[in-house]
Amino acid sequence: MAMFRLQGSKVLAVDVTGDAVKAKNGSMVAYDGQMAFKKLSGGGEGIRGMVTRRLTGEQMTMMEVRGQGTCWLADRASEINLVQLHGDKLYVESSNLLATDAGLRTGTSFTGLRGATQGNGLFTTTVEGTGQAAITSDGPAVVLRVSPQYPLTVDPGAYVAHQGNVRQTFQSGVTFRTFMGEGGGEAFQIRFEGDGLVYVQPSERNTIAGDV
């Protein structure tokens, strides 16, 4: 199985030993050895993944890397975070997924109101199985614990990914900025309850649902 190694915080080295690795299209900055690259459509496996991407307009173009050698991946100088999965599932913003190894499957999951409100589609990307995934963040990601005693509320512009036995709901009306008298328009927060981890970034992406 391929091995993921961080070189600094913004470059991922992937040692490929014959298994196929999926990576964000255009993320390769160098490689050595014998490598073959194939563009994948849809971002999810199977017809359902392709159809849902087309219906929602959410873009996630991946490439398959196969061969013997090492390739180096990066994405616009974003910070890279390694996530180890052990038969569980990771939910991640499509734009924040950099690479997955051969032991993981990618797909899509319905997220309800968030897509309709934010304008980013009704589906989010899922990664499941046993293996490593690399996700990106604008600035160093912070991993926050969600427990039954302590639910977590996150600004959607800072949300990157989550994993574990976590229930995700959406609260409209007030964000952190509108609460402080800044911003306007329709706004919402993401609330997580249960037991798991949530990855957030220190820089907020632009969203359509008000100044969040």
What confidence tens digit (pLDDT) does each residue in 65-97 have?
999 999 999 999 999 999 999 999 999 988 899
Q: Which of 100-104, 123-127, 186-190 has the lowest mean pLDDT?
A: 186-190
- Which distant-in-sequence residues (6+ apart) come within 8 Å of 139 by Cβ? 79, 201, 202, 203
Distance from C-alpha of 67 to C-alpha of 15, rounded to nearest angstrom: 10
* pLDDT tens readout for residues 25-48: 999 999 999 999 998 865 445 544
Whether the Cβ atoms of residue 108 and residue 48 lie closer than 8 Å to each other: yes
pTM (whole model) above 0.85: no
CA-derived radius of gyration, the chain: 17
Q: Which two tokens stand for residue 56?
A: 């929602």
* pLDDT tens readout for residues 119-174: 444 468 899 999 999 999 999 999 999 999 999 999 888 999 999 999 988 877 55
Which amino acid is present at 130?
A: T
